[in-house]
Structure 1
């Protein structure tokens, strides 16, 4: 059973709660498919199963609260916390991943928290690593709130309206609409993956064009 089919089997209120919890746990530092749950819930909102407003609100709250808890855990546990996590979960918290994320923090400061929300690896590491590196909390909070709202609310809105448009195409053009929707989805996925790859690349990241000088951690 696909995740969207599974979500349709539970009440709308629980869908919103699930979105907030999964994204919150992912932001806290637990590798969960938060983005997949968010996109699936947003698609369901386009079908009228759940309110897109509540999906966006719950996702934003989960992202902000989860990152804040992750910050507190990272600040308390410090670098030894990541050493232990690296030994247990090398795929997500290996030395290479931590070193790369730490470089972003030293180079871009609070912007790493904001833009990290849009990159899978940094989305998991941003909160705990910001705490471990002793980023001032007010800087973290500003970037965390803005990044959480823009990512969660923006993703929900985009997927919701794309779902509405795609449904109209399918009703009005049958197989032509289906082919157009599939091609559009594939091209969008390719574009987003390309952007994410460039953003996570140390040498080819797009943050250089946004941040002219690094913000000290």
Structure 2
């Protein structure tokens, strides 16, 4: 079922709740399609009959990101490695020991910068809160980076998609659609490049830390 179409059929308040919850749950550390839902809701908001506004989508997405990351931070602070171990066992295709090790190393090197920038990378968007809490990052520092990243990510995503939609409506010539298609392809290729680069660094981390990977496997096997 097309997610954009589904959102157009829901009452406006329910759409806001759904977007906020999906992004919040993703930010806690559970791999749900938060970003996909944000994109779909923004596209659906352009429909004349839509009962929700892109500004409202941006606001609830920002709130979901900030609150979800904060919950992830405090759960990580209280439960620490128990939470991370559960994520590896429950979502082995999304989170592996190598992913955790690489993300932890990144967090240790860049601190709040990793929290801010992580909002724009799928894996770090899930892990930033729990890892920051586990590693004992000062909460006000975390909150400032988390809020800035969440607002820029949500507002920026909605804004870019809205502008592209305006361009599509204004440029009715064939050349205009070609340019728009080129922009969309460039965005998709850029996202794919970021993901492939991240995966390459995760693999490199695993190769550079074989003992740590073996310890993780032994720990999981013993549980």
Normalised by the length of structure 1, the TM-score is 0.85
The 3-state SS of whatever aligns with 1:90 is coil
1:110 aligned to 84, 109, 112, which one?
112
C-alpha separation in 2, matches of 1:136 and 1:197? 31
**Is the CA contact 1:118–1:196 (under 8 Å) kept in the aligned structure 2?**
no
The runs of 5 or more residues in structure 2 that have no matched partner are 203-223
1:154-169 correspondence to structure 2 within 5 Å = 154-169=156-171
The runs of 5 or more residues in structure 1 that have no matched partner are 204-217
Q: Does 1:37 align with 2:30?
A: no
**Is the CA contact 1:52–1:156 (under 8 Å) kept in the aligned structure 2?**
yes
Aligned to 1:135: 137
Aligned to 1:144: 146
C-alpha separation in 2, matches of 1:46 and 1:83? 41
1:1-51 deviations in Å (ceiling 9; x for gaps): 211111111122221221111001100111011111111111122334231
C-alpha separation in 1, matches of 2:194 and 2:169? 27
Corresponding residue pairs, total: 200
**Is the CA contact 1:74–1:130 (under 8 Å) kept in the aligned structure 2?**
yes
Aligned to 1:186: 185
The 3-state SS of whatever aligns with 2:161 is helix
C-alpha separation in 2, matches of 1:90 and 1:3? 25
1:48-127 correspondence to structure 2 within 5 Å = 48=48, 49=50, 50-127=52-129
| Residue 159 of structure 1: how far off its partner (Å) | 0.7
* RMSD between superposed Cα atoms in Å: 2.0
Worse-matched range after superposition: 44-53 or 22-31: 44-53
| Residue 146 of structure 1: how far off its partner (Å) | 0.5
**In the superposition, relative to structure 1, how do residues 122 and 114 fare at CA in structure 2: closer, same or farther (>3 Å)?**
same
Aligned to 1:211: none
